Amino acid sequence: MTTTPMAMGRGHPPRMAYHSQGHRAAAHGLHPSKLDAVLNHLHHRNSDTGSRKKPKSPDAFQIDFPMRTNYMYGRVKRTLLHEIFSLTLCLWLKGGASSGLGTPFSYSVSGQANELVLIEWGNNPMELLVNDKAVTLPLSLTDGKWHHLCVTWSTRDGVWEAYQDGVKRGSGENLSAWHPIKPGGVFILGQEQDTLGGRFDATQAFVGEISDLQLWSHVLTAHEIYNLASCGSHLTGDVIAWTESVVELHGGVTKYPFDPCH
């Protein structure tokens, strides 16, 4: 399936108007809805840890974004050390919003905020962006259940594939063909970056839970992806491997023991 690339910059709400609403100021106060969310989460955490086994390893965890904010995010303490020409991004995710998952993952580099982005914004379907060009992914992830999601991309002809729960749901080409993914950028979980590592927009924030995110600098085979999704094997990414020491949490994002393959 081939879709028409489009620029991501269009249609974003004007930033000045957004700032004038004063959301940033409210973000640091004791907003009642924030307090509710925190209390709810403490409750869930207590009941969850009581019924779950202790994690076997430091990679058996999930991170939780309870609400749409412009200040909750995870930062991956890794970057690309050199250009890459193909990739596979896989993660387990569970959507928590009534509409639009938001942005589970974004990678920005100097001069290109949308170097590599996974976003489901507003009423749009999930999109994969490479160098600010987007394709629509034929995925359905908004049923509030855990799903395994993988996207692959290669600079050669800009070929891409999208997998949900180990099954290929779509593929295409000409997504930023012959573009190298640039090094030295910032990986952010849960927010879309309008500049290197920042300028988050609450309307594009991820709401839900993420676990076992891995990024490889090559295209995994359909068989490998099926094995990951069906928990037949556990490969770890050479660019990003999901371990507690690699994911830095900000703004109240919480971490819980979790093994998607329990």
State how far Cα 5 lies from the chain centre: 20
> What is the 3-class SS of 2-33, one letter each residue?
CCCCCECCCCCCCHHHHHHCCHHHHHCCCCHH
Q: Site size for Ca ion, by CB under 5 A? A: 3
Q: How far is the CB of 134 from Ca ion (least distance, A)?
A: 13
Q: How far is the CB of 256 from Ca ion (least distance, A)?
A: 28
Name residues contacting Ca ion, limited to 62-91 (CB under 5 A): none
Apex 93 CA angle, 89 and 94, nearest 5: 160
Contact string 172-201 vs Ca ion (x = CB under 5 A): --------------------x-x------x
> What is the number of alpha carbons within 13 Å of residue 207 lying toward its C-beta?
21
Q: How far is the CB of 113 from Ca ion (least distance, A)?
A: 8
Name residues contacting Ca ion, limited to 196-215 (CB under 5 A): 201
Return left, alpha or beta for 108; rule: phi > 0 is left, psi -120 to 50 is alpha, else beta.
beta
Which CB contacts under 8 angstroms, 24+ apart, belong to 15-22? 15/194, 15/199, 15/201, 18/201
Question: Which of 161/201 has CB closer to Ca ion?
Answer: 201
Contact between 92 and 177 (Cβ < 8 Å): no
Q: How far is the CB of 201 from Ca ion (least distance, A)?
A: 4
Q: How far is the CB of 206 from Ca ion (least distance, A)?
A: 13
Question: Which of 132/194 has CB closer to Ca ion?
Answer: 194
Q: How far is the CB of 4 from Ca ion (least distance, A)?
A: 20
Return left, alpha or beta for 150; rule: phi > 0 is left, psi -120 to 50 is alpha, else beta.
beta
Using the rule CB under 5 A, is 132 a contact of Ca ion? no
The tokens 């556990």 sit on which residue? 234
Contact string 136-165 vs Ca ion (x = CB under 5 A): ------------------------------
Question: Which of 127/201 has CB closer to Ca ion?
Answer: 201
Segment (H or E) for 101: none
Question: Which of 14/50 has CB closer to Ca ion?
Answer: 14
Question: Which of 127/192 has CB closer to Ca ion?
Answer: 192
Q: Where on the chain is the footprint of Ca ion (CB under 5 A)?
A: 192, 194, 201
